[in-house]
Structure 1
């Protein structure tokens, strides 16, 4: 469940001073950098906030109407920066650290994916008024947050075989994938009746705006959603039925593209869910066969105690015995120097051609069932291989189970990690600064 570097770069929107095409509005120099927020023992500077806001606006160039008023946007971006600070602090407290060498590799990867070099990236950032060290720190923070999510997933997320079986059956019945977007009106853990009523009223109000056509869904998500992906229009990407909350799954199959359902109460609050489009996923669930071979081999090692010439002479003698009628397994048990297979008469079980490297695969493919190869050389030494049998194996089911297990895990991680972030935010001391006025809050403000 790791994130690729192209995705990494895109996710730096709200925590760094650069976006995917490296286009950003340079900020005017300020004589004194003020504090925008205090987050436990850390701070967010006003310059950090303004750079992040500039990135969001650059991403919405030509679609500015979808953005909320500046004061609301500022608060949304500030909340995202707060969550980054809290996650980085928790990660560091858990012993998660990103070393300088790993960070440099990540920076080089980002530069390459933008068709550039690290030096050229540094120059481009300087041209746009962006401090290279600030950007480097943002990349470190993003990788650190990824590591925290991975650690969280490993310690708290598990998927049973029964869950995979149920999801596969559901997939077979439906066979579709759904492109979704959502709007979340978050509720704190142990929400009071008043907080629930307020959340319901807000969710109903957003739904009414959508029904009247006064606001499109993406714009409503940017303005009103409390989800971490609000500034991306609430886009959830493509999901299979097993990735859709149970409260929505049955309804989703009856919906048409463009329809919106909700609000429905879920673990994190009230949700509105939009079906953007549907596609047939049956091709992805199709079978995929590979050729597998049952084989045995005999190895004569080349090492300090045995020269290449001596090993070659020995393997030639062993092959002559096999071709002359001596049982291959008997010769392997007596003379093979592969300790892992020697006791089994050189038996390697069933394997695809490339399992033991290209040289081994070429020999296996080049003989018939029952045949014995000519001696051939690998890094380990000299071999002969006997091909016992051949079969076609459907690996589609294994791949499909692995994919389903991963998608269920992603769904669980999303739900659990969002709750974890709410807890993290609720426990933190956060003080927003506006001019000379400070606003203390222990929970995320509502849009």
Structure 2
């Protein structure tokens, strides 16, 4: 559980909006002071109409340190780490405030669902999760608030991307025909030394010098991930700058030529980009391959509880229909037309057509692989209701072209979304009033706007 808490606060400290597939994990709140003791606290930064307290910064820094407890040497000196985490807390405050200004709200039910997801990921019930959080001396209310902030930032991200990213068929066709798309995938890590918006020549030179220091440290034997933690200004710095696997066409055009000429393990020189200087490491690469998957043909009957049908009655009705089918007293297709409440298949006699294993959700996916062709499942329950499933057949299907087109659309969308949100965050930061009140926490290479 402590590892989960650390990972969540790492995301929070980075100030990033979580992607749709990201894991939601709880925040470690500041432990309550002992009775009779008043903790000393102070405001370390003013962010528009909000503030960041020393206790907030200490807790975020402590959580990052906990995350790297097994390898503390990868962390930069404490003063550098504090500035990095503070920068990300500032960005988090700005995103949440902007989202609220735009009317983005997260309902209690949404937070409840996120709590349930966290509990499931930690193999707990919601009550067990609450107990675990409180056992560590943390506030469950603060944990819920942090989840709400993460969901708020996700919705802000989605709103910005939705309004600024458009993908055309011609873009997809051009990408599929390009040599970079056929070049496969690369696993990259990077260090970004940002140039502040409106920077003068001195600030640009300072950023270039910092990038040169990072390269010298790497050449001197410092692990690239540790160098990213120490030198990078990117939001993923505290993750070691790992960009994960991406297709070559997803690599920004300004860096694609450099990456294409690298071998696994190579580290690039400092490359000038629109947001600053970038140092890239090619961790690994792999060639594209054919995408052959197993497809299933099945049909189903779905019985849903309703105001007129209790859950127990729904289960019994499903069992009665199953008995009719297996006892040869009723035709599956006709029973589906007469009884199934699935609007997409009922009129077709329950026919689900050919589908990949997970297209109908994990519950049906788990059942379909256990059946033989022609076999009818016993009634089983999902969130939708009670199902009776008959597997009609299976086949191997080459979906390379279909998957390639979907991946191309996603790659273009990801590239545009990444650039759009990065531009949004840069402008958000540039327009904000940020006053770092503690001199040693001020970034010597950054220009802060105060008025």
TM-score, normalization: structure 1? 0.69
Structure 2 residue aligned with 1:217: 224
User: Cα deviations across residues 363-420 of structure 1 (Å, max 9, x unaligned)?
Assistant: xx99xxxxxxxxxxxxxxxxxxxxxxxxx98654233212211122112222221221
3-state SS of paired residue (1:15): helix
| Alpha carbons of structure 1 residues 222 and 441: separation in structure 2 relative to 1, 3 Å | closer
Deviation at 1:158, TM superposition (A): 1.8
Aligned to 1:403: 407
**Aligned-residue offset at 1:124:** 1.3
2:127 corresponds to: 119
- Size of the aligned set, in residue pairs, is 352
Farther-moved stretch of structure 1 (239-248 vs 190-199): 190-199
Q: Does 1:247 align with 2:254?
A: yes
Q: What CA RMSD, in Å, does the superposition of the two structures yield over aligned residues?
A: 3.8
Helix, strand or coil for the counterpart of 2:44? Answer: strand
Establish whether residue 128 from structure 1 lines up as the match of residue 136 from structure 2. Answer: yes
Q: Is the 8 A contact 1:204 1:263 kept in 2?
A: yes
Residue 352 of structure 1 is matched in structure 2 by 353
Residue of structure 2 in register with 1:180 after alignment: 188
The 3 A distance-change label for structure 1 pair 129 and 248 is: same
1:266 aligns with: 273
- Alpha-carbon separation, structure 2, partners of 1:440 and 1:33: 22
CA distance in 1, matches of 2:63, 2:399: 45
Shift of 1:50: 1.6
1:384 match: none
Partner of 2:422: 418
Q: Between Structure 1 and Structure 2, whose CA radius of gyration is higher? A: 1
Residue in structure 1 matching 2:234, options 227, 239, 246: 227
Q: Contact conserved, 1:27 with 1:51, CA < 8 A, in 2?
A: no
Q: 1:379 maps to which residue? A: none
Alpha-carbon shift at residue 441 of structure 1 (Å): 10
Mind listing any 5+ residue stretches in structure 1 that lack a counterpart? 1-5, 293-345, 359-364, 367-391
d(CA) in 1 for partners of 2:447 and 2:11? 17
Conserved? CA contact 1:431–1:440, under 8 Å: no
Tell me the equivalent position of 2:436.
Answer: 432
Deviation of 1:14 (Å): 4.9
Distance in 2, matches of 1:27 and 1:65, equals 30
- Tell whether the 8 Å contact from 2:6 to 2:28 is kept in structure 1 after alignment: no
Q: Is residue 281 of structure 1 aligned with residue 288 of structure 2?
A: yes
Is 1:40 equivalent to 2:48 in the alignment?
yes
- Aligned in 2, Cα 1:216/1:268: closer, same or farther, shift over 3 Å? same
Counterparts in 2 of 1:258 and 1:24: CA distance versus 1, 3 Å: farther
Alpha-carbon distance in 1 for matches of 2:90, 2:264: 35
Cα 1:23/1:133, change in 2 over 3 Å: closer
Q: Is the 8 A contact 2:293 2:398 kept in 1?
A: yes
SS at match of 1:189: coil
Q: Does 1:108 align with 2:116?
A: yes
CA, structure 1 residues 291+209, in 2 after alignment: closer, same or farther (shift >3 Å)? closer
Shift, 1:176, TM fit: 2.1
**Gap change, CA 1:12 and 1:171, over 3 Å in 2:** farther
Q: Which residue of the other structure, out of 193, 196, 202, is the alignment partner of 2:201?
A: 193
Distance, in Å, in 2 between the alignment partners of 1:280 and 1:222 is 30
1:86 aligns with 2:109: no
Asked if the contact 1:23/1:58 (under 8 Å) is kept, the reply is no
Deviations 1:327-384 (A, max 9, x none): xxxxxxxxxxxxxxxxxxx99xxx93579x99xxxxxx99xxxxxxxxxxxxxxxxxx
What stretches of structure 2 of length at least 5 have no aligned partner? Answer: 14-23, 298-346, 365-372, 375-395
- Equivalent position of 2:147 in the other structure: 139
Distance 1:27 1:353, change over 3 A: same
TM-score by length of 2: 0.68
